Amino acid sequence: MPVFTQTCSADPVADSTVVLVAPTCTCGCLSDTDMILLDSDGVDLASSSPAPWDNDPAHGLFIHINGVRHWAICALNTSLTSVHHGHADKNKLALLKQQQQQKLIGGLALLRKPPVSTLTVRTDPFAPARIQPTRTGHLYAGSRFRGKQRSGTSSYEVMVDIKDVNLKDSSICGYLHINGLTVDYPELTTFFDAEIIGNAHSFVTKKWDADVKTDKEHWTMFKQFESMSETFSEEKFKYDFKGQDVIFMRWKEHFLVPDHRVDAIVGASFAGFYYICYNKLTGEIDGFYFHRSSEKFQKLTLTHIADRSVSFGSYEFR
């Protein structure tokens, strides 16, 4: 019975770096000096001929998948480090083998290593600087929200199209469509970008005519902010949006879509900005519009639009 002096890893499927297994055996099927080197595919590198115990049911520790011999023991846990001869251990091994088989049925065969690319030879400084699409909860490129904005007694239909989510840069952008705001533009679409509150952007706005008082009275409209309402403006206050159930943001509209050159519209203004709170658990977005000379606390409420089943395309800046 081979004794494994070093097992690869508790979970070699997740850990593809498994390399070395050194079996020795007391039953004579393997000499003490035999070392079996395995690559991460679990393929025996040291000997091409099958080991004497390869097909022996008592020793059958290899499993063949598509002609590649996989080191079954890799997926077993480290408790196997001292398996000895004996009937009791036979049962144990059988059990472990069974577990292993089940894992394989579950598709847990070790994944193949892809070939190494030659594209890196010519140096493209952008190659390692990819802006991979990111997502969190309902915030991803292509996601949509629908809802209302209330201003005084009126209420307008609002749609939001998320176009780009870059969590690394703490930024999101998209289009905001409002219906029925003015006669000239029954459907008004603006481009907005979002600052995600966290390490990159503080709760304190310091721009767009907002002072700390403004910040406080708006952020405290969100109950999830309550615990921070006294400390958020302190110098040492730190906040990380990762792992939170809500994401606070500031949304700032910049120009019209499709014609970005139009900068003033009669009867509508997008000079202010929104204090936003997105709830990951419900997919809802609440917001309050702020502009020095506009009605205070115009409320934006949005819910995520879930199509029937969801398909996802993907683009990436180059």
Partner 1 sequence: MLYCRRLQDIISARDDKDSQLKTQAVIVLGSFAFGNESNILALTNSGVLEPLLNCLNPTGDPKLIEAAARTLNAIYASPRVSRLELFMGNHLNVLVQLLDAYSSSYRMGQEAVLLHTAELVASILARCCETIDQQMQIAGSGAVPLLMRLLASGACKSQEAALGALAALVKDNPDLAQHIAQMRLERGERPAPYILRLVRDKSPNMRLAAATCLTYMNRAGVIPEHNSDIMLTVLPTLVKMLQLNCSVQEAAPKVLAYLIWESESMQKAVCDMDAIPKLASIISQVDEEDNVYGIVGQKDKLKENSLLALAAISQMKEDCRRQVIEAKVLPHIVMAMSHPSVGIRAAACQCTRSLSRSVKNLRTSLVDAGIEAPLFQLLSDSDPGVLSSATATLCNIVLDVSPMKKSIMDRGIVLKFVQMIGFGDNVVRLNAVWAIKNLVFEADSDVKEAVMRQFGYHNLAQLLNDGELAIQEQALNLVRNLACKREQDIDQVFSGLGNGQLFSIIEDKLTWDDLRLLEHALYVLVNIATGSEYHKQSIMKRPGILRSVLGLMSHESAAIRVATIWVIINLTWPDDRLAQGVHDRVVVLRSLGVEDRLQALNSDHDLDVRDRVKTALHHFHLDQQQYGHAAMTAAEQAGSAGTTGGASRYSQGTTTTTTITTNRSAAMGLGQVPVSGATAVVGAGGDAFGTTAVTDATPSGVVGTPSHERR
Q: Which is nearer to partner 1, 224 or 229 (CB)?
A: 224
Q: Which is nearer to partner 1, 125 or 152 (CB)?
A: 125
Give the span between the Cα atoms of 83 and 60, in whole angstroms: 14
Q: Which two tokens stand for residue 295?
A: 């009605």
Q: Which is nearer to partner 1, 51 or 162 (CB)?
A: 162
Minimum CB–partner distance for residue 38 and partner 1 (Å): 15
Indicate the helix (H) or strand (E) that contains 100.
helix 87-105
Minimum CB–partner distance for residue 17 and partner 1 (Å): 11
Three-class DSSP category at 318:
coil
Q: H helices of 192-258, where?
A: 212-219
Q: Cβ(133)–Cβ(141) under 8 Å?
A: yes
Q: Which is nearer to partner 1, 22 or 104 (CB)?
A: 104
Give the span between the Cα atoms of 212 and 202, in whole angstroms: 11
Q: Which residues bind to partner 1, rule: CB under 8 A? A: 13-16, 40, 105-115, 117-119, 122-126, 128-129, 131, 135-137, 142, 163-164, 166, 168-169, 171, 173, 191, 193, 243, 245, 254-255, 257-258, 260-261, 280-281, 308-318
Minimum CB–partner distance for residue 51 and partner 1 (Å): 25
DSSP string for 33-95: T--EEB-TT--B-S-SSPPTTSS-TTT--EEEETTEEEEGGGGS-GGGGG--SSHHHHHHHHH
The β-bridge partners of 233 are: none
Q: Which is nearer to partner 1, 16 or 214 (CB)?
A: 16
Minimum CB–partner distance for residue 27 and partner 1 (Å): 33
List the beta strands (DSSP E) in 244-305.
246-256, 273-279, 284-290, 298-304
Minimum CB–partner distance for residue 271 and partner 1 (Å): 17
Burial of 172 (0-12, 13-18, 19+ CB in 10 A): buried
Minimum CB–partner distance for residue 285 and partner 1 (Å): 16
Q: Cβ(195)–Cβ(241) under 8 Å?
A: no
Minimum CB–partner distance for residue 96 and partner 1 (Å): 18
Q: Which is nearer to partner 1, 150 or 177 (CB)?
A: 177
Minimum CB–partner distance for residue 265 and partner 1 (Å): 17
Q: Which is nearer to partner 1, 87 or 318 (CB)?
A: 318
Which residues fall within 8 angstroms of residue 38, CB to CB, at 6 or more apart?
8, 18, 19, 20, 21, 44, 45, 71, 74
Q: Which is nearer to partner 1, 69 or 216 (CB)?
A: 69
